[in-house]
């Protein structure tokens, strides 16, 4: 099966921000989580994949096709802000989408709106922030896309709605031909659903891999300055000092535990890895 997305040498400059020669391959059938601080380049990357941003250089292939030839109506998108007209209600949005998308399924849309508790006759301008995100998710799912790309889809959703959303993504991914790319600051959501994680920082991919491998291998070693300095530099991703305590994000926590039994080595969550990558110092 073709890769859903192949990116080679992607360059994009915008003001102070620059993305230089980014490479990324997303195989079909995966849920990929994009993690990074504000301004890391997640939205720029997503917009380059969807065509909303025009890359300065590089090649993007979608569904095995060169970007210009790929059928981008096979992509469902959710942005961090709702892009629909404020004076449209659910019924008219559905009518509009049925005219724009060949594979639009009004019943799926109505069912999802009903599940989310959004009346079809309520206008977009009357929605809460959470409702605006939900209606975007419903639109993205209802046109039967082969790939969904979501930028902070759970922003503004309460925990129950987030849980419901994650269930919907799981349901969507039951089809092996489907792919999902989700960027989120809520790393716990990605821990629950993503197969593959891409960490971005300052326009670069600083780390990527299968989520289970990352969570299984990365750890936070804690100890004094001298104990941490004894660690092999190649094993250490970043170091953070808080008072007399020093912690280090290490790539092979099992190896470090064996080699340095005097150190406390905790499991690292995706959030720990993000914070250490962004705020820690390079060894």
Partner 1 sequence: MIGLVWKDLYSARSGVFAILLFALVFGLLFKDSWTGPMIVTLLFCNIGNSTLTWDEQCQWNTFAVSSGIPRRTLVLSKFEAGAVFVAMGTLIGLIAAVVFTVAGFNEMTLVENLQGVALGAIVAMVVMCLTIAITYWTGDSAKAQYMSTGIMVVSIIAMVSGSIIMTEMLDGAVSVIVVMAVIAVVAIAVAYKASCRRLESRDL
Chain positions contacting partner 1, by CB under 8 A: 14, 47, 50-54, 71-77, 79, 81-88, 92, 95-101, 143, 149
Cβ proximity to partner 1, 50 vs 247, nearer residue: 50
Cβ proximity to partner 1, 113 vs 273, nearer residue: 113
Q: How far is the CB of 27 from partner 1 (least distance, A)?
A: 21
Classify strands 147-151 and 75-78 as parallel, antiparallel or unpaired: parallel
- Distance between CA atoms of 118 and 39, rounded to whole angstroms? 32
Cβ proximity to partner 1, 24 vs 275, nearer residue: 24
Q: How far is the CB of 81 from partner 1 (least distance, A)?
A: 7
Q: How far is the CB of 124 from partner 1 (least distance, A)?
A: 8
Q: Which tokens is 189 given?
A: 């959501």
Asked if residues 281 and 239 have their Cβ atoms less than 8 Å apart, the reply is: yes
- Distance between CA atoms of 64 and 148, rounded to whole angstroms? 16
Asked if residues 22 and 7 have their Cβ atoms less than 8 Å apart, the reply is: yes
Classify strands 179-183 and 147-151 as parallel, antiparallel or unpaired: parallel
Cβ proximity to partner 1, 80 vs 211, nearer residue: 80
Q: How far is the CB of 205 from partner 1 (least distance, A)?
A: 21
Classify strands 147-151 and 236-242 as parallel, antiparallel or unpaired: unpaired
């Amino acid at each position: 099966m073709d890769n859903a997305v192949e990116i080679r040498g992607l360059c994009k400059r915008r003001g102070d921000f620059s993305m230089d020669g980014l490479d990324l391959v997303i195989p079909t059938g995966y849920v990929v989580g994009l993690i990074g601080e504000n301004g890391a380049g997640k939205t720029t990357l997503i917009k380059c994949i969807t065509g909303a941003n025009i890359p300065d250089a590089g090649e993007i292939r979608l569904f095995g096709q060169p970007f210009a030839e790929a059928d981008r109506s096979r992509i469902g998108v959710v942005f961090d802000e709702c892009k629909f007209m404020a004076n449209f209600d659910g019924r008219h949005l559905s009518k509009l989408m049925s005219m724009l998308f060949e594979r639009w399924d009004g019943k799926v849309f109505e069912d999802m709106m009903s599940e989310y508790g959004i009346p079809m006759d309520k206008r977009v301008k009357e929605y809460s922030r959470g409702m605006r995100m939900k209606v975007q998710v419903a639109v993205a799912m209802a046109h039967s896309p082969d790939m969904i790309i979501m930028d902070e889809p759970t922003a503004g959703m309460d925990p129950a709605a987030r849980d419901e959303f994650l269930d919907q993504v799981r349901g969507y991914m039951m089809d092996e031909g489907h792919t999902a790319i989700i960027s989120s600051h809520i790393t716990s959501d990605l821990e629950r659903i993503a197969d593959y994680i891409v960490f971005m920082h300052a326009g670069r991919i600083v780390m990527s891999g299968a989520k289970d491998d990352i969570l299984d291998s990365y750890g936070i070693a804690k100890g004094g300055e001298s104990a941490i300095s004894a660690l092999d530099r190649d094993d250490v991703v970043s170091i953070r000092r808080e008072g007399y305590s020093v912690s280090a994000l290490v790539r092979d926590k099992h190896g470090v535990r064996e080699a340095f039994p005097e150190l406390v080595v905790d499991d690292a969550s995706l959030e720990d890895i993000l914070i250490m990558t962004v705020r820690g110092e390079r060894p």
